[in-house]
Structure 1
Amino acid sequence: MQHTKGLIGTPQNRVDGRAKVTGQAKYAAEFDTPDLTYGIVISSSIAKGRIASIDASAALAVPGVLNVFTHENRPRTALLDRSFRDEVAPPGSPFRPLYDAEVKYSGQPVALVVAEAFEIAAYAASLVEVAYTVETHMTDLDISRREAYLPPKKRSGVNPPPSPTGDPEGAYAQAPVKVQGEYRIAIEHHNPMEPFASTVVYEQDGTLTIHDKTQGAQNSQGYVSNVFGLSKDQVRVISPFVGGAFGVGLRPQYQLFLAVLAALELKRSVRVVLTRDQMFTLGYRPQAIQTISLGANPDGTLQSIIHDAVQVTSTFEDYQESIVNWSNLLYHCDNVKLTYQLAQVDTYTPCDMRAPGAATGVTALETAMDELAYAAGIDPIALRLKNYTETDEPDKKSFSSKELRACYQLGAERFGWSRRNPEPRSMREGRELVGWGMATGVWEAMMAKTAARAVLTRDGRLEVSCATADIGTGTYTILTQIAAETTGLRMEDVTTKIGDSSLPRSPVEGGSWTAASAGTAVQTACQSLREQLFKLARQMDASPLANASFEQATFADGEIHLTNDASARVTFAAAMQAGGVEQVEADGKSGPSLMDAARYAGYTHSAIFAEVRVDEELGIVRVTRIVNAVAAGTILNPKTARSQIMGGVVFGIGMALEEESMLDHNLGRFMNHNFGEYHVPVNADIYDIDVIFVSEHEDKLNPMGIKGVGEIGIVGTAAAIGNAIYHATGKRIREYPITLDKLLG
């Protein structure tokens, strides 16, 4: 059996691109419905304490105001912790909006004003008076780390650090070359373009159709069903387009709860949209303080790795990441000790943010490795090659595939690394110091259980569907490519439907597993559909395929023909007409192979090279060149995949130089809660980004050899920039972001 070649692996335009640039693509707050009402969230002004009183009388007196929901009058729903848990909830007690008078963090929703018009609701919200009893809060990690603890329960999908091996402390003490440092990563907020919004359409039969900004329509559906005691048939969540998410959309956010609560109570459709300020009351990449000690022989051979991390979590949930595990994964060493602890602060629970754990842990590790290279007088690439490993040492598994050596080689060649003068402050151009740095990137290549459906109609149109999401990554496009190539149709003849809880089962879109998971499910469904078509074609009267086997057939251009005789052919339409069917339907499933998972470790790898130019007098840093060489198995669409790596690199530039959510510990509140003061890279900050996809044969993780590329672009990028800044200036900054005050200081 063969099928049309030439789509998978080729650069194709986004099939949803025209809808997005012309405004036809609708987002959660853009779906209109008759008699829609509007909700405005009132946020707490204190970080910890209790609500002493809420006076909503003035707001309720405003014509057009329907209700002001508070903990005092909310419907009696969701009293049990378990009913609030969602698909990716960490251990602990999930936050329950309007549950009682307790205030757990600054910006917590304390009331919802619902009115006939948005402007009326906003005005009425300004009239609600809330009085508080204030309690002492704690948001400072430097203080709360004194009571850091090991998480008592493991978070699903997050492996705790492996047990120590050898004698790490003794080996470090005896190592001829050693470095030790404390590395700090600031809190970062996701800041997607689209704010969180939910439009809850209350149907006449009491069912709900919800347009939600989410990375998992079925996750939001399950959450609403559990919280409000509804059946899955009574709740449909639709989210065809997501204006960015980066992990913050993995969990249902509080506007969804509030909008549903109001809709059910008022028996009206309700829309709730969060402000940009309120977006800073949601999850974030947690602050982390890491200490790394590396000991090595004079030739750079690692003798000891000690990596400790403490990270913030909320007072009510134990959010966890794999931060330190990467240090024993990237490099061979016989003496390793990795520890990870949590420290509670009075903020909302952190959440996954692009490459959670790796973006934090690898940044510190790769900065320390650069320091070791200078201490040993060894080229940074040579040091990494000296300690290269072919196995996942903690789990004693071989890698399913690993072309990291080729990443180093091809990236270095493209960047011109051989021309680098290793001496700090040795390269300059005019008033700017020039620095070159590099780092390694790594991320998991995962797969999750996913289902898909394929339906072919007699007019030659194919529809494939899956409940997964597209947060801007190109999911629509790659699923269309896979379906078209597998069935032998043009991409124009394929429609992909996703982002709807009524579609075949899919987990949340995250972890870089969507391409492998949903892609394999779609391919499997289309393969099953092909078999049905072939059976119909063989059963036709005087069929030219009557005596052929499935393996002898090629599917191309909407027809089936013998591979060795193109004249022996049957069109899809003719086969379906002869079989008396208007459409052919097939389901497909995908999931990780338990046997292969037990034998192999799957990861994407990268090598990042950065050039910076630092104004010697002002300390202003420009990242003028990035070369990122990535080994990620089969690249389904080089065009959309390149965009993903570029987006990750831009994320890394922000992490390295700009992004920092600043807490006023006196108030317990994020102070730079807007785009004017929370700095993210803009066009003027971005120069040349060169992406190389290194050829990598992968045949163990999934049938198409797919490894996701959504996260790998950010991992190691901040470290490469920090290392380049050291090379340019001779100043080693271990606290990210590296702002000019740190350089000038």
Structure 2
Amino acid sequence: MTDLIPELRTPTAPEGTGRVKGGMPVSRVDGRAKVTGSARYAAEEQAPGLRYGVVVSGTIARGRITAIDTDEALTAPGVIEVLTHLNRPKIRSWDLAYKDMTAPGGSPFRPLFSDRIFYSGQPVALVVAETFEAARYAAQLVKVNYEEEKHETDLLATLDQAYKPRPMKAGFTPPSSKGDADKAFEEAPIKIESQFYHGVEHHNPMEMFATTVIRGEDGHLTIYDKTQSSQNNRWYVSRAFGLSKDKVTVRNPFVGGAFGSGLRPQYQLTLAVMAALQLKSSVRVVLTRQQMFSFGHRPETWQKVSLAADKDGKLQAIKHEAIHETSRLEDYVEVVVNWSGQLYACDNIKLGYKLVAHDRHSPIDMRAPGAAHGVHALEVAMDELAYKLKMDPLQFRRLNYASVNPLDDKPYSTKELHQCYDKGAARFGWDKRPLEPRSMVDGEELVGWGMATGIWDSLVMVARVSAVLHADGRLVVSSAASDIGTGTYTVMSMIAAECMGLPLERVTFQLGDSTLPMAPIEGGSSHVTTVGGGVHGACEKLQKTLIKIAKAMPGSPLAKAKPKDIEFIDGAMQLRNRPDVSLRLSEVLAAKGVDRLEEKFFMTPQMAKQRKFTRAVHSAVFCEVRVNEKLGMVRVTRVVSAVAAGRIISGKTAASQVSGAVVWGISQALHEESFTDHRFGRFMNHNYAEYHVAVNADIHDIDVIFAQEDDRIVSKQLGAKGVGEIGIVGVSAAISNAIFHATGKRLRSTPITPDKVLLGDREIPVEEPPQAK
């Protein structure tokens, strides 16, 4: 694996850092490879005789294929084959063979399996040619006839068809309730009831989904794929095609963004493997930007939140229900409403969650799935109730602070949310905020300040890690982890370097290969606690082995030393505070007569201890907006995000994760939505020109603060938690609340586009702004 990524053999440490310590602002060890172009992605691997596949996408939302005419395409220059459901290679027929490790309940979609059409944009054929250009041209020549059936893609028109999810995917916790929320709500003196709507969002990372299958002379398939888990995709391919896992290797050393879209194998992988098996050759399939809109997405969601408080502002009832769309095939589920049972102290909580089956591809996790929408609704409702109480929104949240989990009274493993409130408010200047809406004006712009709380689970999974110390002082640590741009290479290298007392440039972390030791799918902000814990564990075992050998060496200066009195610094082991009493690690290996030492560690969560606690990361987001009411334009000019995420291992990449998530939160709040033409059940704005995302002109000051926190319940080895998701949670709510503070207009649907600022929400009623004082 090291030979595949030689540019990572000697990562560069920041100048003048010396010893690596947790929290240091270390530059990415893969940064040079990425900015110079030497990092190779899935669509850039080469092989002799490589063929190119282009997908033909279906044009109806529901029905059957009655005929496919491939004759003209097959006669085009350079075309080798056109695969359809009629001539594809043999694949297994039962659902279980297509269940990847994150599949929800139901029947997974299988490309080119039959004549059945489940959604618009579904792949119906694959044209394979000697060149990409030939395949792309011939794909336009394939003619498909359909028998069209009535379809449904409109959530708000089908809310009455909602049902409770059928068998769930692993990890989904159905929402529970507490007390009598209906009665408490009716009896409370102060209450609000609000509805929320969120349109479909698509991930759209820079790197499009691609698969290059390199077929060896012995039939072995080496697959370079855009994925968040090489081992998940190897599992899927071997089972779907009935291949021994020894005949399939999946690699993903570099991933150009995924944000959840790569959690499950996407259909270009299946089609590329089909073509490679059928033609007995190497094949590459790359999806177009338009086809990137033809699989999973953040689901369209409707919510209703009802909150009630006494006259002093203490919450008396929380009611939260949500309905979102899924496919006809699978019950894709998210924890949309569960957060309302965790954030605030309340004796009466009622949570409800349902799905509506539509003729779409199954949704898929997108950064902070469930929380991005669920916390938005809760936090806008909290702001609304605070105003009804004539109370500062931050003061209202402090008043209802939950010291234990409200639903089950479990203590938090750690919870430094008060610290986030304090630090974030001080940095932002919240104490200078007037309560009344429309009370701050700058020229033609109304200025508003809003805030929201964020929460996300702290997850730990299972992983294996190998650590090999070489005689020349190099440390190579390996696990089949993934780096989707989050900084996995860097963080794992830092953990190993800190533990072994080595300069960062002497450490190499290997990932992105299904043959490496087992690692979980990169998702849920769990890689640092899981794989990082494994790295720390393997290095600790290596330390113990080295100490044992050193103590047994003839004439060893450390013979009588206790292990706790020995530390590892600069490629040596020495007595604490006695650098003159030391041994080089190379000397220790030489004394043992070996050129390498290897230790392996099996990382498992400390479940017996963890189940006694609620484990979560928290944040407080403060936001300033400027609104031009004449044009309906909103500018987010300042964001302060204060995050409590345990011990921060890499200060630079952690801050980068949070600031990047804030950018996406701004995009979620103001820009992103995939519109559907319900006559055809088809997404209309399937390109970067019309699917709007935040750009440089939309982003101004973003300030990230980390609270002091060390969580040894979540991560016994590191004290860390994850930061990937928490950065986006609460951002859209803070923006919405700031817009209310600026304009007095409460907008509850996202994105908040200029037409809504001018005219109000399209989908749900909007309050009239109060008269300005």
TM-score interval, smaller chain: over 0.9
**What is the 5 A alignment of 1:673-688?**
673-688=686-701
- Who is 2:58 aligned against? 44
**What is the 5 A alignment of 1:319-718?**
319-702=332-715, 703-718=717-732
Deviations 1:534-587 (A, max 9, x none): 222223221112222322211111111122532221111111111110100011
Q: Is the CA contact 1:144–1:345 (under 8 Å) kept in the aligned structure 2?
A: no
1:286 lines up with 2:299 in the alignment: yes
Deviations 1:371-416 (A, max 9, x none): 0000010110111111111111223310000011111111111111
- Who is 1:116 aligned against? 130
1:83 lines up with 2:83 in the alignment: no
Report the Cα offset of residue 697 of structure 1: 2.7
Of the three residues 302, 314, 321, the one matched with 2:315 is: 302
Work out the CA distance in 2 between the residues paired with 1:116 and 1:403.
Answer: 59
Q: Name the SS of the counterpart of 1:398 in structure 2.
A: coil
Q: What amino acid is aligned across from residue 238 of structure 1 in structure 2?
A: R
Deviations 1:301-344 (A, max 9, x none): 11111111001100000000001111110011111110000001
Q: What amino acid is aligned across from residue 155 of structure 1 in structure 2?
A: K
Work out the CA distance in 2 between the residues paired with 1:582 and 1:236.
Answer: 29
- Who is 1:102 aligned against? 116
1:250 lines up with 2:243 in the alignment: no
Report the Cα offset of residue 5 of structure 1: 5.8
Q: Is the CA contact 1:425–1:434 (under 8 Å) kept in the aligned structure 2?
A: yes
- Who is 2:217 aligned against? 204
Report the Cα offset of residue 63 of structure 1: 3.0
Q: What amino acid is aligned across from residue 689 of structure 1 in structure 2?
A: I
Work out the CA distance in 2 between the residues paired with 1:533 and 1:144.
Answer: 65
Which aligned runs of 4 or more in structure 1 are off by greater than 3 angstroms? Answer: none
Deviations 1:58-80 (A, max 9, x none): 11112321110000111221211
Q: Name the SS of the counterpart of 1:392 in structure 2.
A: coil
1:140 lines up with 2:151 in the alignment: no
- Who is 2:164 aligned against? 150
Work out the CA distance in 2 between the residues paired with 1:395 and 1:266.
Answer: 58
Work out the CA distance in 2 between the residues paired with 1:536 and 1:699.
Answer: 30
Q: Name the SS of the counterpart of 1:391 in structure 2.
A: coil
- How many pairs were matched up? 741
Work out the CA distance in 1 between the residues paired with 2:577 and 2:504.
Answer: 25
Q: Is the CA contact 1:236–1:501 (under 8 Å) kept in the aligned structure 2?
A: yes
Work out the CA distance in 2 between the residues paired with 1:5 and 1:269.
Answer: 46
- Who is 2:233 aligned against? 220
1:182 lines up with 2:184 in the alignment: no
Q: What amino acid is aligned across from residue 225 of structure 1 in structure 2?
A: S
Work out the CA distance in 1 between the residues paired with 2:179 and 2:599.
Answer: 54
- Is the deviation greater in 51-60 or in 530-539? 530-539
Q: What amino acid is aligned across from residue 668 of structure 1 in structure 2?
A: G
Judged with a 3 Å threshold, the aligned counterparts in structure 2 of structure 1 residues 6 and 76 are, in CA distance, closer, same or farther, namely closer
Q: Name the SS of the counterpart of 2:379 in structure 1.
A: helix
Question: What TM-score results when the alignment is normalised by the length of structure 1?
Answer: 0.99
Q: Name the SS of the counterpart of 2:732 in structure 1.
A: helix
Work out the CA distance in 2 between the residues paired with 1:591 and 1:110.
Answer: 42
Deviations 1:62-107 (A, max 9, x none): 2321110000111221211100000100000000100111100000
Q: Is the CA contact 2:20–2:504 (under 8 Å) kept in the aligned structure 1?
A: no
1:129 lines up with 2:157 in the alignment: no
Q: Is the CA contact 1:452–1:466 (under 8 Å) kept in the aligned structure 2?
A: yes
- Who is 1:729 aligned against? 743
1:30 lines up with 2:30 in the alignment: no
Q: Is the CA contact 2:331–2:355 (under 8 Å) kept in the aligned structure 1?
A: yes
Report the Cα offset of residue 509 of structure 1: 0.1
- Who is 1:92 aligned against? 106
Work out the CA distance in 1 between the residues paired with 2:280 and 2:158.
Answer: 45
Q: What amino acid is aligned across from residue 239 of structure 2 in structure 1?
A: N
Q: Is the CA contact 1:49–1:102 (under 8 Å) kept in the aligned structure 2?
A: yes
Judged with a 3 Å threshold, the aligned counterparts in structure 2 of structure 1 residues 6 and 270 are, in CA distance, closer, same or farther, namely closer
Q: Is the CA contact 2:437–2:744 (under 8 Å) kept in the aligned structure 1?
A: yes
Deviations 1:599-631 (A, max 9, x none): 111111000000000012111000000000111
Q: What amino acid is aligned across from residue 552 of structure 1 in structure 2?
A: D
Q: Name the SS of the counterpart of 1:426 in structure 2.
A: coil
Q: What amino acid is aligned across from residue 720 of structure 2 in structure 1?
A: I
Q: Name the SS of the counterpart of 2:422 in structure 1.
A: helix
Q: What amino acid is aligned across from residue 122 of structure 2 in structure 1?
A: Q
Q: What amino acid is aligned across from residue 153 of structure 2 in structure 1?
A: T
Of the three residues 166, 173, 179, the one matched with 2:179 is: 166
Q: Is the CA contact 1:596–1:701 (under 8 Å) kept in the aligned structure 2?
A: no
Q: Name the SS of the counterpart of 1:154 in structure 2.
A: coil
Where in structure 2 are there 5+ consecutive unaligned residues? 1-17, 760-773
Q: Name the SS of the counterpart of 1:25 in structure 2.
A: coil
Report the Cα offset of residue 6 of structure 1: 4.4
Q: Name the SS of the counterpart of 2:158 in structure 1.
A: helix
Q: Is the CA contact 1:144–1:344 (under 8 Å) kept in the aligned structure 2?
A: no
Q: What amino acid is aligned across from residue 302 of structure 2 in structure 1?
A: I
Q: Is the CA contact 1:364–1:719 (under 8 Å) kept in the aligned structure 2?
A: yes
Q: What amino acid is aligned across from residue 741 of structure 2 in structure 1?
A: H
Q: What amino acid is aligned across from residue 615 of structure 2 in structure 1?
A: G
Deviations 1:104-162 (A, max 9, x none): 00000000000111111111111111111111110000122211100121221111101
Q: Name the SS of the counterpart of 1:341 in structure 2.
A: strand
Where in structure 1 are there 5+ consecutive unaligned residues? none
- Who is 2:7 aligned against? none
Q: Is the CA contact 1:520–1:589 (under 8 Å) kept in the aligned structure 2?
A: no
Work out the CA distance in 2 between the residues paired with 1:596 and 1:109.
Answer: 47
- Who is 1:742 aligned against? 756
Q: Is the CA contact 1:440–1:716 (under 8 Å) kept in the aligned structure 2?
A: yes
Deviations 1:149-207 (A, max 9, x none): 00121221111101x22221111111111100101111100010000000000000011
Question: What TM-score results when the alignment is normalised by the length of structure 2?
Answer: 0.95
Work out the CA distance in 2 between the residues paired with 1:416 and 1:551.
Answer: 46
Q: Is the CA contact 1:561–1:568 (under 8 Å) kept in the aligned structure 2?
A: yes
- Is the deviation greater in 54-63 or in 464-473? 54-63
Work out the CA distance in 2 between the residues paired with 1:616 and 1:232.
Answer: 60
Work out the CA distance in 1 between the residues paired with 2:55 and 2:723.
Answer: 36
Q: Name the SS of the counterpart of 1:349 in structure 2.
A: coil
Q: Name the SS of the counterpart of 2:331 in structure 1.
A: coil
Work out the CA distance in 2 between the residues paired with 1:568 and 1:178.
Answer: 70
% identical aligned pairs: 55
Q: Is the CA contact 2:81–2:128 (under 8 Å) kept in the aligned structure 1?
A: yes
Q: What RMSD over aligned residues (CA atoms) do the two structures have, in Å?
A: 1.0
Q: Name the SS of the counterpart of 2:685 in structure 1.
A: coil
Work out the CA distance in 2 between the residues paired with 1:670 and 1:113.
Answer: 24
